[in-house]
Structure 1
Amino acid sequence: MTSADELRAHLLEARLAGPVATTREQSLRRYRLFAARDPQVLLGLEPEQDWPLAELLKLMHDRCGVSDDPAHISGLDVIDPDRTIDALDSFAARVMAVAEAGAPVLLGTGHPHRLLDFYAALADALSAAGCRILTPAYGRCIDITTRFGVRTYNLDYVRGVALMRDPGARSARSAPGVHTHSPLPIRTALGAVADALTPLPALVIGDHGWVCGAGQLGIEAIGLADTDDPALFVGEAEGRVSVAVPLDDAVRSDYYRPLTRYVLNRACLSQ
């Protein structure tokens, strides 16, 4: 069991919160792109209101703890660990609610190298609680626009968690998948569920386009987000994302294990 105090200390030691590896320059660049409604940064969200840079800074300060001073343009971003813990409490509450209902859940990640184990542990616990872990559109080819041009990836599932793979890298023993921000995988997965005339997920758990894409389509979604991913926090502010947890989403995968224990304990799903 991990207490809130123990988790807070771990967040700071592992640099999941406090000063994180994400630079202020990177965050500000993405805030400007979001304000300009660049699709690569919207992650599938269609904001209901304008979000100029000044308003985004205020929001990110409120949700993450980053500086809201526009004159602060360099250095490392800072996440308030207490905001992370508060958000994890809300995240765990939604996990517990769907577990108690035994409702279907879909999990997906654009950070499989780092976050696969975190989501897989949730999938295992929710499955044990009686939830159906959805795996629609398995193997489907999806064309995704990247900074290197359009790339074709395959939708795969590992331990109940959706991710994208390069064609030909479908074995669970191979590389864990590719990094993507695209909402196309969740749109494809949800489309396959609808075509099969089976129940849609009551909750989508993930990051990047998995969360924003689901929320935009009216599916409840919760997830993890770094300071340079404002879309999840805007989605939360506008009511289309239930919970966005601020943390560094690209540290070593084993550093997320205390977060797993904390969430499962708070959700009353500890084995």
Structure 2
Amino acid sequence: MAPNREQLIAHLLATGMAGTVATPRENNLEHYARMARRDPHYQFGLELGIWTPDTVLDLMVRKAGVDPRLNHRRGQDTIDPELTADALDRYAARFGKALQAKQRVLFATGHPRTLARLYQQLATALTEAGGTVVPLPEGLGYAAENRYGTVRRVQVESFMGVGILADGGAPIHTHSPLPIQLVLSDLAARGAPMPDLVVADHGWCGGAAQAGLDAIGFADCNDPALFAGEDEGTVAVAVPLDDGIAERQYDLLGEYILTRG
């Protein structure tokens, strides 16, 4: 039986996907300040308006339900499960439109070890409904520098229909919008149709939204850019949740999305 809202919220709390989450408050505040300073790593490919650390915190109180106290500087932070459920309803409505209209959807993730399985679940449902999972072009890559200054070539790859960034074949975490920008440029160069919808996160989602595509995504409470993009009308939907827990825990979210849409 498909989960209802009450069961969804209980699952969010039981898994730590919402409620008191693992992300430390000091990490959240540092990232809010970095986004406000327009650090590209925390913009997720979005051309955001003017934000200050305080207005970012206000945004995250509204959008994600983090602790509103200005003097709460260290320790754990929160995600309001009711806000997660509200956002999932909006997410489900947009994905439901893709199912009903048999749209072309591109799936991609900067969190391949945790979120790819959920996107594969949605991609399977789309294919079964007669829609199209946009295939990822092969051979796209670029030289990237890691935090230690080492430059290596990273590659865009398809992981069972979900776009990821890989280093030597191993999936890697990324905030960068470069992968989706390369994919969209390749589609345009080949005269291929653009996706009707991008289901993604991090820079994959932000870069797609900045390019003018419908983009819906998940984001943790230490990643404010997608919420700012939604607030400014660029990102279609941003869902607050802990995006780093065991991949199977997201299965129930997929079931909820597919039955609510």
Partners of 1:211 and 1:146 lie apart in 2 by 21
| 86 and 42 in structure 1: CA distance in 2 versus 1, 3 angstrom threshold | same
- Equivalences for 1:75-224 in 2 at 5 Å? 75-149=75-149, 150-167=151-168, 169=169, 175=170, 177-224=171-218
* Long gaps (5+) in structure 2: none
Distance 2:31 2:117 in 1: 27
Deviation (angstroms), 1:3 = 1.0
Identical pairs, percent: 44
Match of 1:33 in 2: 34
- Cα separation, 1, equivalents of 2:124 and 2:237: 21
Distance 1:152 1:230 in 2: 28
How far the C-alpha of 1:244 sits from its partner, in A, is 0.3
Output the aligned Cα RMSD: 1.1
When the two structures are superposed, what TM-score results if normalisation uses the length of structure 1?
0.93
For the 8 Å contact 1:144–1:182, the answer to whether it is kept is no
* Matched residues, number: 259
Superposed CA deviations along residues 105-146 of structure 1, whole A, max 9, x for unmatched, are 101001010111100011111111121111232231222343
Structure 1 unaligned runs (5+)? 170-174
Matched position secondary structure for 1:114:
coil
Deviation (angstroms), 1:36: 0.4
Q: 2-side partners of 1:41 and 1:145: how far apart?
A: 16
Report if the CA contact (8 A) 2:135-2:161 is conserved: yes
CA contact (8 A) 1:136 1:190 kept: no
| Partner of residue 8, structure 1 | 9
Q: Equivalences for 1:209-248 in 2 at 5 Å?
A: 209-248=203-242
Q: How does the TM-score come out when normalised to structure 2?
A: 0.96
Aligned residue number for residue 172 of structure 1: none
- The one-letter code matched in structure 1 to 2:143 is D
Is the 1:116–1:161 contact (alpha carbons within 8 Å) kept by the matching residues of 2? yes
